[in-house]
Amino acid sequence: MSSTRTVTTIGLEGSANKLGIGIVRHTYDAKDLDPWDPNNPAEPKNVDVLANVRDTYNPPPGQGFLPRDTAAHHRDHIIRLIKLAFSDAKLTHKDLDAVAFTQGPGMGAPLSTVAMVARTISQLWGLPLIGVNHCIGHIEMGRAITGANNPVVLYVSGGNTQVIAYSRQKYRIFGETLDIAIGNCLDRFARVIMLPNDPSPGYNIEQYAKRGKKLADLPYTVKGMDVSFSGMLSFVEQLAKNDSSKRTKKQKTRNNNSSSSSSSKNAGEASIDQSSQEKEPEYTAEDLCFSLQETMFAMLVETTERAMAHIGASEVLIVGGVGCNLRLQEMMGDMAKQRGGKVFATDERFCIDNGIMIAHAGALSFATGFKTPIDKSRITQRFRTDQVHVAWRT
Amino acid sequence: MHSSSESECSDSDQQLSATHYDAKLPYTSDICLPFNSEKLASIAKNSIDADPEINPDRVHRYLSVENGDLIVNFECDSLKTLRVSINAFMDMVILVTQTMIHLDD
């Protein structure tokens, strides 16, 4: 048997409201790494997840997570989580080869908080620092877990919506959202109908959507390979608000009628109200969640299918927080099946932001000789997927 | 990693203010934080300095290390930005020192 070499990396992720720490061990054939040949790059034989811990900042229902509060959450929990990751992995920092952290994209204050700790431990422990693009983390983790070889990647999360395919050492963006991300749209709608943020707004919408029956006609916006969600959000918010205001108005009129001798004015209003309700179909919150999901996911299936046709791929890999939505996986699966392919997806441990994906992607680039000097480790809120040189793939 | 003591660094304060004085940023403050060693103070400086201030035209932040002290000098365009910058800086210093206390050998 040929000799092997291992690379053990800790990854720190905190670009949004999840704080994740992961430790991963890569096993290479020694001859693949030493000397490393850029013309014949190697990927590890084995990827072992040694620890994967996460703590999510959840604001109360009706509120989003603000950068300042999220950064404070990360500050409060990061040291505890790092200790927990080491005890889960049964390792100490002496077993590590590198420290990887999310350099971007994401929210400035939370990114900066986590980067600060990454820089400090890398200096304390004398380990190289590896800045990782968050999107690349998702893609590489999805590939490693599912074994998808060269898929079209649909990256759907709270901050990103991209259809991606690999070509010549870059993950190229085929299509993306022109305004807000799909997860952002879902989160904001969850706020309007006051769904809790625990465990996640998207999960709660998914549960509501299962009970939805009536499909509302929402604006379906696909422009070439790109999609747009902000118009749909305004539209569905309006439907939800009309609905709830109608309901309270109806109740009020009813109360007035029963408590006092009803004035003719009130009675008139009530009758107008009722007649308008008969004309317009009324949607429950469950119906709206259902309609929102169906319409948005259909848009993504359309653009993903077009990307597959374009590059002749039959596999789809769904990554990102929204990727653990089973309805999205089902719709994408139907499309892929019709094209003689299949869909790959991971569960919430790897779909939702985590430290493992950062450790994994960091380790891949570290094995190619990549390092981020401390003075070049500045975080960046905008960091496109196609800016990264994917040196570890041919 | 101990609480700051103004007296220890008073002579370097004046020097810093004199070298960087900018008429558009009249509100200044100098803070000196003693660390256990020159090495730890440098680690803190490197960790914090990598991310620049968000409003470079309204806040100037200079970090330096002298005899195991982390010295920071702020120049701001208003008292409010000075207060906000010092607050943010203190949060960072606390995080870095906590990391040193809990995760160093």
Within-domain flag for B1:
no
User: Residue B19: is its pLDDT beyond 60?
Assistant: no
Asked which of A130-144, A159-173, A240-254 is least confident by mean pLDDT, the reply is A240-254
Q: Does A102 touch chain B if contact means CB atoms closer than 8 Å?
A: no
Computed over every residue of chain A, the mean pLDDT equals 91
What is the pLDDT, as a whole number, of residue B105? 82
What is the pLDDT, as a whole number, of residue A300? 97
CB A335 within 8 A of CB A152: no
Number of domains in chain B: 1
A239-257 mean pLDDT: 65
Contact A120 B47 (CB under 8 A): yes
Chain B nearest-CA distance from A373, in A, is 10
Which among B11, B52, B54, B49 is positioned nearest to B30, based on CA atoms?
B11
User: Residue B7: is its pLDDT beyond 80?
Assistant: no
CATH architecture of A152-230+284-349: 2-Layer Sandwich (3.30)
- Find residues 27-46 of chain B whose CB sits inside 8 Å of chain A: 43-44, 46
CATH 3.30.420.40 maps onto chain A at: 4-148+350-387, 152-230+284-349
| Widest Cα–Cα separation across chain A | 93
For residue B35, what are the contacts with CB-CB under 8 A and spacing of at least 6?
Answer: B1, B41, B44, B68, B69, B70
Chain B nearest-CA distance from A393, in A, is 30
Q: Does B98 touch chain A if contact means CB atoms closer than 8 Å?
A: yes
Contact A375 B103 (CB under 8 A): no
Q: HSE of B48 in the Cβ direction (CA atoms, 13 Å)?
A: 27
| Widest Cα–Cα separation across chain B | 45
User: Residue A261: is its pLDDT beyond 50?
Assistant: no
The parent domain of residue B56 ranges over 6-103
CATH topology of domain A4-148+350-387: Nucleotidyltransferase; domain 5 (3.30.420)
Contacts of B102 in chain A (CB under 8 A): 79, 83
Chain B nearest-CA distance from A245, in A, is 41
What CATH number did the domain enclosing B24 receive?
Answer: 3.30.310.50
Q: What is the pLDDT of residues B59-71, one digit of tens each?
A: 999 999 999 999 9
CB A141 within 8 A of CB A357: yes
For residue A198, what are the contacts with CB-CB under 8 A and spacing of at least 6?
Answer: A58
ipTM (interface predicted TM)? 0.86
Q: Determine whether A158 is exposed, middle or buried from the number of CB atoms within 10 Å of its CB (0-12, 13-18, 19+).
A: buried
User: Residue A99: is its pLDDT beyond 80?
Assistant: yes
Contacts of A124 in chain B (CB under 8 A): 43, 99-100, 103-104
Q: What is the pLDDT of residues B33-59, one digit of tens each?
A: 999 999 999 999 999 999 999 889 999
Q: What is the pLDDT of residues A280-336, one digit of tens each?
A: 568 999 999 999 999 999 999 999 999 999 999 999 999 999 999 999 999 999 999
Q: What is the pLDDT of residues A101-156, one digit of tens each?
A: 999 999 999 999 999 999 999 999 999 999 999 999 999 999 999 999 899 999 99
β-bridge pairing A98-104 and A129-133: parallel
What is the pLDDT, as a whole number, of residue A247? 58
Residue B70 bridge partners (DSSP): B33, B65
What is the pLDDT, as a whole number, of residue A338? 95
User: Residue A278: is its pLDDT beyond 90?
Assistant: no
Cis amide prior to A199 (ω within 30 degrees)? yes
Chain B nearest-CA distance from A382, in A, is 14
CB A134 within 8 A of CB A384: no
Instruction: Report the phi/psi class of residue A194: left, alpha or beta, with left for phi > 0 and alpha for psi in -120 to 50.
Output: left
Question: Which is higher by pLDDT, A263 or A100?
Answer: A100
User: CA–CA separation, A302 vs A228, rounded Å?
Assistant: 13
Nearest by CB to A116, from B52, B54, B92: name it: B92
